[in-house]
């Protein structure tokens, strides 16, 4: 059955227009989706709360965020009528990104550097597995 050219669906929707075989729904009064990312200035104490009222808010705290600050952010958005989802903190600091050109190091050294930067709790076992695979491919 073909959709009519114009139809009204529910109290929160405007007309539906047939756009070349696709049905386009124009939402009115829908909730916004806000993400407080780990690199947001809010976590350093410098930034302000991004505006959100009656929104879906995803809170992604960085690895070094204090619990009291996470709770304060959550409570701020709950008071505004938002639905808040607090994700677990990052396990460790992110791998630093450098603007300098890559160093001339061997593949083995690069792999072992990544092993040391990993978030794995058993780095000795990870290093052992990396050595085995490097030996298998002849590096």
Tell me what the pLDDT averaged over the chain comes to. Answer: 76
CA-only gyration radius of the chain, Å: 24
| pTM (2 d.p.) | 0.49
* 79-93 per-position pLDDT tens digit: 988 899 999 987 776
Three-state SS sequence of the chain = CCCCCCCECCCCEEEEEEECCEEEEEECCCCCEEEECCCCHHHHCCCCCCCCCCCEEEECCCCCCCHHHHHHHHHHHHHCCCEEEECCCCCCCCCCCCCCCCCCCCHHHHHHHHHHHCCCCCHHHHHHHHHHHHHHCCC
* 45-72 per-position pLDDT tens digit: 777 887 878 888 899 998 888 899 999 9
CB 93 within 8 A of CB 64: yes
Cα–Cα distance measured from residue 43 to residue 93, given in angstroms and rounded to the nearest whole number: 14
**Confidence band, pLDDT 50/70/90 cuts, at residue 94:** low
pLDDT at 4 over 50: no
Could you count the other beta carbons within 10 Å of the beta carbon of residue 59? 20
pLDDT at 32: 81
Closest CA to 61 of 83, 80, 42, 46: 42
pLDDT at 74: 92
């Amino acid at each position: 059955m073909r959709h009519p050219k114009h139809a009204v669906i529910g109290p929160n929707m405007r007309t539906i227009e047939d756009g070349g075989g696709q049905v386009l729904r124009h939402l009115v009064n829908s909730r916004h989706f806000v993400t407080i990312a780990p690199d947001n200035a809010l976590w350093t104490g410098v930034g302000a709360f991004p505006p959100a009222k009656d929104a879906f808010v995803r809170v992604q705290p960085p690895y070094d965020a204090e619990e009291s600050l996470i709770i304060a952010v959550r409570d701020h958005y709950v008071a505004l009528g938002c639905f808040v989802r607090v994700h677990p903190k990052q396990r460790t600091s992110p791998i630093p990104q450098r603007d300098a050109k890559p160093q001339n190091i061997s593949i083995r050294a690069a792999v072992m550097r990544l092993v040391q930067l990993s978030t794995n709790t058993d780095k000795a076992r990870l290093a052992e597995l990396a050595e085995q695979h490097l030996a298998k491919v002849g590096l």
